[in-house]
Chains A and B, each alone.
Chain A
Amino acid sequence: DTGVSQNPRHKITKRGQNVTFRCDPISEHNRLYWYRQTLGQGPEFLTYFQNEAQLEKSRLLSDRFSAERPKGSFSTLEIQRTEQGDSAMYLCASSLSTGGAGTEAFFGQGTRLTVV
């Protein structure tokens, strides 16, 4: 499978616990994005990387959220002290950085987080 891979697919955690998600992008893609999607809404941008550099973070990304992309390959998104409002689908996408046709972002299957 050469698509974007996310793990785990589902995560149930108790409020206050920390969780970490992993994303493996399409191998030749140097850009990687994290989005969050709640029920009935479109995905909301959280942050993105070009190679290992985190270029932008949304205001939605509170201090409890941190993302890394060591060595410019896979990425992790950690949520500390989870709250019930963090329950959502966390989507990862990747693309090339050239911005031309054919370099659009492709999404992984997502990690569904439920905070109880």
Chain B
Amino acid sequence: QKEVEQNSGPLSVPEGAIASLNCTYSDRGSQSFFWYRQYSGKSPELIMFIYSNGDKEDGRFTAQLNKASQYVSLLIRDSQPSDSATYLCAGGLRGTSYGKLTFGQGTILTVHP
């Protein structure tokens, strides 16, 4: 079992819709979670991070964390064609090993006009 698993894609949504990306993790020691966006041929770009249970909103993006269920999600509201990319979920520890991230395999999102 992979330590971080993302819902299988690709995911296709129409422009203006809500895109929902999901991720589960197996290491209960993971304390911090990150969503990165990666355009084809480019490096990962940080979108959001979340440490605490519940929701965290930043503009059109909402990250959700449920530590009891070991579940992380990212909602993208009012999806735009420019949101089309691969979205990577990553888990990490805080403290000494902070920044050493375990990534999921990524979910490809396509937003069609």
Contact = CB atoms under 8 A, between A and B. Distances in A.
Interface of A: 31, 33, 35, 40-45, 48, 55-56, 89, 91, 93, 95, 97-99, 101, 103-110
Contacts of B99: 31, 33, 48, 93, 95, 97, 103-105
Contact of A40 (B4, B46, B94, B105): B105
Interface stretch (B37-45, B62-70, B72-80): B37-45
A42 B51 contact: no
Contacts of A103: 98-99
Nearest to A45: B100
B1 interface: no
User: What does DSSP make chain B's interface, helix, strand, loop or mixed?
Assistant: mixed
Interface in B91-109: 94-106
Interface residues of B, number: 25
Contacts of B98: 31, 95, 97-99, 103
6 contacts: A44-B103, A48-B100, A95-B98, A105-B99, A107-B45, A110-B42
Contacts of A98: 98
Contacts of B36: 107
A43 B103 contact: yes
B90 interface: yes
A45 B43 contact: no
B21 interface: no
A95 B34 CA distance: 14
Contacts of B97: 56
A48 B95 CA distance: 14
Given A45-B102, A104-B34, A108-B43, 19 more contacts: A31-B98, A33-B100, A40-B105, A42-B104, A43-B101, A44-B103, A48-B99, A48-B100, A56-B97, A91-B44, A93-B99, A97-B98, A103-B99, A104-B46, A104-B49, A105-B46, A105-B99, A106-B46, A107-B45
B88 interface: yes
B53 to A, nearest CB: 15
B105 A107 contact: no
